[in-house]
Amino acid sequence: MQSTVQVPTGATQAKERLYTQLAGSFGRMNRALMQTSNLCELLQMDLRAMQIFVGTDASLFMTVAASFNDEPDGDEMLVEDSTKET
C-alpha cells in the first residue's frame, strides 16, 4: 500500500492564503453590517423620540398662542372705553 502525501505547492498555498484573507474580510464586513444595523435601530428610536418631542412642543406652542389670543389687547380696551364716554 502506497501512501501519497500531497505536498502543498506554491499555488495551493497562495489559494489558502487568499481564502483566509477572504474569510477575514467577510468577518469584518459582518461586523460592519451588524454595527450599521445597530446604528439604524438607534436612529429609528431617536427619530421616534424627536417626533414625540415635536408633537409635544407644537401643542405647548399652540396652547400659549391660544392664551394670547384670548386676552384682550390694551389698545382695544381704550377704544371701547372712549366710545362709552360719549
pLDDT at residue 78 greater than cutoff 90: no
Considering only residues 66 and 23, tell me which one the structure prediction assigns the higher pLDDT: 23
Q: How far apart are CA 86 and CA 80, in angstroms?
A: 11
pLDDT at residue 82 greater than cutoff 80: no
pLDDT tens track for 26-70 = 999 999 999 999 999 999 999 999 999 999 999 999 998 888 887
Task: Work out the angle at residue 21's Cα, subtended by the Cα atoms of residues 20 and 27, and round it to the nearest 5 degrees.
Answer: 90
pLDDT category of residue 8 using cuts at 50, 70 and 90: confident
- 467577510: which residue's cell? 26
- Kindly report the pTM of this predicted structure: 0.55
Q: How far apart are CA 48 and CA 52, in angstroms?
A: 6
Q: How far apart are CA 55 and CA 57, in angstroms?
A: 5
